[in-house]
């Protein structure tokens, strides 16, 4: 923002009320196909957690973890404490982080569609490598290819959805990405549940089926058009206008087209076990269902209401789980059935809150607040930061769990407090604001208007 990032002069006057058009079948189909990419991330999140609890998988690649798991007297908090297992999980996220930064210039120069195709191809290769892996090296290389696919997909798809969607439904249609993510998690949990007894190669089937959404994403990307914004950004104004007329179902697109063209002024300015599988399946289903609550309310209630209410519920749930585990779970004794059920219920409430708030909106808001000139770069930073902290958490979680025990839930609750307070103070409401007129939003906010250069006020 400071230094001319969000200048009001760049978009001229507010003219959102002049936007014409409707939700055409063309937009819906394109958004559905693009959102399939979200299922890649979701499927991997769900599948990796389940596979790493399968005995056949652990025995072949992580025998030390397998032995720890089999010892009944092993500390409940430390039985999965293994740096090699953490590396298997986190290698995807560091690869995705790097790939998302590489994806930014690709997405900007060649279009959103190309990055979607690259993401699908990389993820397909990674799923094949993982399913056929005979040693840990090949397994981790497969995870790296999955990470590259996720980096490209997560960078391009939210942009694609935001730019294709009409302003008044942008939040809901953009959340197709999160819906696909949660359905991917749920599908992965169901696959794990079904393959756990297929021995000794059930884990290979679980990992290999990741190629299905990757193939759909790759094929869909081949037939998808690029977005009007991307075409205009690359100097193809006539093609951009024709596509805009097609996806809006009307030739009266002057106001929206002019906003897109005006945004290019920025260029001249230089800018374990069955229990864990049961729990995963349950929470995956809850997450998928709760995301639809967000789709139904995000364009009516707004982003801030969902983020704040979801954050508060997540904080309460984390504290409750910490209290239950702190009082009732010993280092070498499991929870009673009653308290186990209570923990699952509270975790489901946490997942519900995440599913209608921070889960989908963490992708939606960054994809809509940046001006066209830096939108691709901004989304890359979003994906990179997301994957960086996912990598850090994946690498450190098992060690933190062993060290902090039940306190780990209080640790994460404190971060959610910071997140929620930040939204209360610094996040403007983006509901109903055209994607090319976001500069006016920053101008009106109590804090960010102080940061904007003086000539823009």
Secondary structure class of 160 (helix, strand, coil): helix
Cβ neighbours for 236, distance < 8 A, ≥ 6 positions apart? none
By the 8 A CB rule, do 174 and 165 touch?
yes
pLDDT of 282 > 80? The answer is no
Answer yes or no: is 142 within a domain. yes
Share of the chain above pLDDT 90, in %: 22
Residue 201, phi then psi, degrees to nearest 5: -115, 20
Tokens 């025990």 appear where? 405
- Tell me the average pLDDT across 143-166: 88
C-alpha to C-alpha distance for 112 and 166, rounded to whole angstroms: 18
By the 8 A CB rule, do 120 and 153 touch?
yes
C-alpha to C-alpha distance for 241 and 261, rounded to whole angstroms: 10
Answer yes or no: is 394 within a domain. yes
Which range is least confidently modeled, 45-49, 228-232, 264-268, 362-366? Answer: 264-268
Tokens 């993401």 appear where? 119
Domain containing 425 equals 8-456
pLDDT at 454: 58
Answer yes or no: is 2 within a domain. no
C-alpha to C-alpha distance for 301 and 324, rounded to whole angstroms: 34
pLDDT at 73: 55
C-alpha to C-alpha distance for 425 and 183, rounded to whole angstroms: 33
By the 8 A CB rule, do 229 and 165 touch?
no
Q: For residue 457, what pLDDT band results from cuts at 50, 70 and 90?
A: very low
pLDDT of 138 > 90? The answer is yes
Secondary structure class of 122 (helix, strand, coil): helix
- pLDDT tens for each residue of 65-112: 888 777 755 667 777 777 788 888 888 888 988 898 888 889 888 988
C-alpha to C-alpha distance for 424 and 428, rounded to whole angstroms: 9
Positive or negative, the CA dihedral 192, 198, 202, 208 is negative
pLDDT at 140: 92
pLDDT at 158: 85
Tell me what the pLDDT averaged over the chain comes to.
82
pLDDT at 118: 94
Q: For residue 438, what pLDDT band results from cuts at 50, 70 and 90?
A: confident
- Tell me the average pLDDT across 265-276: 46
pLDDT at 72: 53
Answer yes or no: is 282 within a domain. yes
Q: For residue 268, what pLDDT band results from cuts at 50, 70 and 90?
A: very low
C-alpha to C-alpha distance for 278 and 284, rounded to whole angstroms: 10
pLDDT of 271 > 50? The answer is no
- Tell me the average pLDDT across 350-360: 90
Answer yes or no: is 55 within a domain. yes
C-alpha to C-alpha distance for 255 and 20, rounded to whole angstroms: 8
pLDDT of 7 > 50? The answer is no
- Tell me the average pLDDT across 314-329: 91
CA nearest neighbour of 139 among 92, 93, 193? 92
- Tell me the average pLDDT across 227-251: 88
pLDDT at 119: 93
Answer yes or no: is 138 within a domain. yes
pLDDT of 9 > 80? The answer is no
The CATH number linked to 410 is 1.20.1250.20
The CA–CA distances, whole Å, from 308 to 133, 140, 176 equal: 44, 38, 21
pLDDT at 1: 34
Share of the chain above pLDDT 70, in %: 88
User: How many CA atoms lie less than 13 Å away from 61 in the CB half-sphere?
Assistant: 29
Instruction: Report long-range pairs for 276-279 (Cβ below 8 Å, ≥24 apart).
Output: 276/49, 276/50, 276/53, 277/50, 277/53, 277/189, 277/192, 277/193, 277/196, 278/193, 279/344, 279/347
How many structural domains are present in the chain? 1
User: What's the token pair of residue 224?
Assistant: 């998808």
C-alpha to C-alpha distance for 429 and 409, rounded to whole angstroms: 30
Is the model more confident about 211 or about 69?
Answer: 211
- Tell me the average pLDDT across 126-148: 93
C-alpha to C-alpha distance for 16 and 43, rounded to whole angstroms: 38
Cβ neighbours for 254, distance < 8 A, ≥ 6 positions apart? 18
Answer yes or no: is 1 within a domain. no
pLDDT of 154 > 60? The answer is yes
User: What's the token pair of residue 312?
Assistant: 């508060």
Which range is least confidently modeled, 18-22, 203-207, 448-452? Answer: 18-22
Answer yes or no: is 395 within a domain. yes
């Amino acid at each position: 923002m400071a230094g001319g990032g969000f200048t009001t002069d760049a978009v001229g006057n507010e003219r959102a009320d002049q936007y014409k058009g409707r939700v055409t079948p063309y937009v819906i189909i394109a958004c559905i196909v693009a959102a399939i990419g979200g299922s890649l991330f979701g499927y991997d999140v769900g599948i990796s957690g389940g596979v790493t609890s399968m005995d056949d998988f652990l025995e072949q690649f992580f025998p030390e973890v397998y032995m720890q798991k089999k010892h009944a007297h092993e500390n409940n908090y430390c039985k999965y404490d293994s740096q090699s297992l953490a590396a298997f999980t986190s290698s995807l996220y560091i690869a995705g982080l790097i790939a998302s930064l590489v994806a930014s210039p690709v997405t900007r120069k060649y279009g959103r569609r190309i990055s979607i195709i690259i993401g699908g191809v990389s993820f397909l290769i990674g799923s094949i490598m993982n399913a056929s892996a005979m040693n840990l090296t090949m397994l981790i290389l497969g995870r790296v290819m999955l990470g590259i696919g996720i980096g490209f997909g997560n960078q391009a798809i939210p942009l694609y959805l935001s730019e294709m969607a009409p302003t008044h439904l942008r939040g809901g249609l953009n959340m197709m990405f999160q819906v696909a993510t949660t359905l991917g998690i749920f599908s992965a949990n169901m696959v794990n549940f079904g393959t756990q007894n297929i021995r000794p190669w059930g884990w290979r089937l679980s990992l290999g089926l990741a190629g299905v959404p990757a193939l759909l994403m790759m094929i869909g990307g081949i037939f998808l058009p690029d977005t009007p914004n991307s075409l205009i950004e690359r100097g193809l104004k006539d093609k951009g206008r024709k596509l805009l007329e097609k996806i809006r179902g009307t030739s009266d697109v002057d106001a929206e087209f002019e906003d897109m063209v005006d945004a290019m002024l920025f260029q001249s300015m230089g800018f374990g076990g069955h229990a864990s599988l049961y729990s995963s399946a349950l929470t995956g289903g809850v997450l998928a269902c709760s995301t639809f609550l967000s789709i139904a309310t995000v364009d009516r209630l707004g982003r801030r209401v969902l983020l704040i209410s979801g954050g508060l519920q997540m904080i309460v749930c984390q504290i409750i789980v910490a209290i239950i585990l702190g009082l009732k779970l010993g280092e070498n004794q499991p929870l009673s059935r009653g308290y186990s059920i209570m923990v699952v219920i509270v975790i489901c409430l946490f997942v519900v809150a995440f599913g209608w708030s921070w889960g989908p909106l963490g992708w939606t808001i960054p994809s809509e607040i940046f001006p066209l000139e830096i939108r691709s770069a901004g989304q890359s930073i979003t994906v990179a930061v997301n994957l960086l902290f996912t990598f850090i958490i994946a690498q450190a979680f098992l060690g933190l769990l062993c060290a902090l025990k039940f306190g780990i839930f209080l640790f994460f609750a404190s971060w959610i407090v910071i997140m929620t307070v930040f939204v209360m103070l610094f996040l403007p409401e983006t509901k109903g604001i055209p994607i090319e007129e976001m500069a006016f939003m920053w101008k009106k906010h109590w804090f960010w208007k102080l940061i904007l250069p003086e000539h823009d006020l």
